[in-house]
Each structure stands twice: as C-alpha cells, then as structure tokens.
C-alpha cells in the first residue's frame, strides 16, 4: 500500500498507492509528481513562446 518513490532531490519517500487492485490489469505509481515549475519552459514553448522570451522571464524572476 505504501510503495517508495524517488523524488527529484534523490530522497525516497513512501506514497499511498492506488486503492483499487485489478486481477488482470497491473496498477501502480508510474512516476513521481513534478516539482513546482519543472515543466514551465516546455509548456511555454508549446504555447509558442520563443526561447529568448523564456530566458528573459527567468532572468527577471517571473518564472
């Protein structure tokens, strides 16, 4: 019920696993949760922001 998952900082912590258990379909935790802002640049790129704009936002502390 409490599988260990490795966080972004390397620390291993127990997380509550899925309550449902299926006989033919394996279920479990596939990956850790993203850290705050981990995918911000990727999302902004997908929305059409240029790398220079993203770098400027980072430099100004906006993201």
Name the token pair of 48.
């059409």
Q: What average pLDDT does the chain have?
A: 90
Note whether 16 and 28 are same-domain residues: yes
Confidence (pTM): 0.60
User: Rounded to an integer, what distance in angstroms lies between the CA atom of residue 9 and that of residue 51?
Assistant: 26
Note whether 1 and 24 are same-domain residues: yes
The pLDDT tens digits for 18-44 are: 888 888 988 888 888 888 999 999 999
60 pLDDT more than 90? yes
Note whether 40 and 56 are same-domain residues: yes
pLDDT of residue 18: 85
* Residues in a beta bridge with 13: 5
Note whether 28 and 40 are same-domain residues: no
54 pLDDT more than 90? yes
User: Rounded to an integer, what distance in angstroms lies between the CA atom of residue 59 and that of residue 51?
Assistant: 12
């Amino acid at each position: 019920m409490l599988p260990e998952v490795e966080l972004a900082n390397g620390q291993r912590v127990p997380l509550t696993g899925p309550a449902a258990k299926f006989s033919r379909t394996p279920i479990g935790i596939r990956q850790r949760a993203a850290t705050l802002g981990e995918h911000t640049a990727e999302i902004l790129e997908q929305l059409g922001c240029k790398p220079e704009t993203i770098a400027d936002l980072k430099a100004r502390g906006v993201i």
